[in-house]
Amino acid sequence: QVQLVESGGGVVQPGRSLRLSCEASGFTFSNYDMHWVRQAPGKGLEWVALIWFDGSNKNYADSVKGRFTISRDNSKNTLYLQMNSLRAEDTAVYYCAREDHGGPYYWGQGTLVTVSS
Amino acid sequence: SYELTQPPSVSVSPGQTARITCSGDALPKKYAYWYQQKSGQAPVLVIYEDSKRPSGIPERFSGSSSGTMATLTISGAQVEDEADYYCYSTDTSGDHRVFGGGTKLTVL
């Protein structure tokens, strides 16, 4: 069965960097587009970034463009999110999700990122 | 930046029909998707491409779209349908995905 396991979250100071990982199993990772979606505490879902199945195209929300980088290693079945210049408003649970039926379909359980001094 | 607008809350009694709307300028050209999120859980896709239902989703969930508004309908809402519901779509360029602000459905 499809499994997505995020890791790399934690507490980080404003202005610092953090890299999230999402390990995929149960499907052919290299065949699917992948998303990062986040949810601030008590708030709604916010789409963050998308990467095509082969890494050839990447799209970002305006709120993270220029600071975050989505990437993937299809040989390791792993999705990444490099987050630089972190701000308090980046505090959220970060989910990775596999695209299917045209949108994020299979979701991980999320990893919490807290940006605080 | 592109936005999808949802009502903050909808309330119905068990067995009634719940309707949740989502408005966006690109919806005449782009599909709408609907997600259900229960407290402490990851979202679940309940409707894709305006009106299609993934396997395992009860038939009481249906979707429609007309003009700049998409609608999620839950016919005969049940207590277990209480959750936050989010619409999702893309802007006209297709480069930016976006979620609506979410609607809290109360069934009591």
DSSP string, B38-52: -TTS--EEEEBTTTB
B96 with A44: Cβ contact below 8 A: no
Q: What is the mean pLDDT of chain A?
A: 97
B51 lies within 8 A of chain A by CB: no
Q: Tell me how close the Cα of A95 comes to any Cα of chain B, in angstroms.
A: 8
Cα(B41)–Cα(A63) distance, rounded to whole angstroms? 24
The answer to whether residue B69 scores a pLDDT higher than 90 is yes
A61 lies within 8 A of chain B by CB: yes
pLDDT score at B1? 86
Summarised one tens digit per residue, pLDDT across range B24-58 is 999 999 999 999 999 999 999 999 999 999 999 99
Cα(B90)–Cα(B93) distance, rounded to whole angstroms? 8
Cα(A73)–Cα(B33) distance, rounded to whole angstroms? 28
Summarised one tens digit per residue, pLDDT across range B79-102 is 999 999 999 999 999 889 999 999
| % pLDDT > 90, chain A | 98
Q: Which among B48, B86, B96 has CB closest to A59?
A: B96
User: Is the torsion defined by CA of A21, A47, B97, B91 positive or negative?
Assistant: negative
Q: Which among A35, A59, A109 has CB closest to B42?
A: A109
pLDDT bracket for residue A101 (50, 70, 90): confident
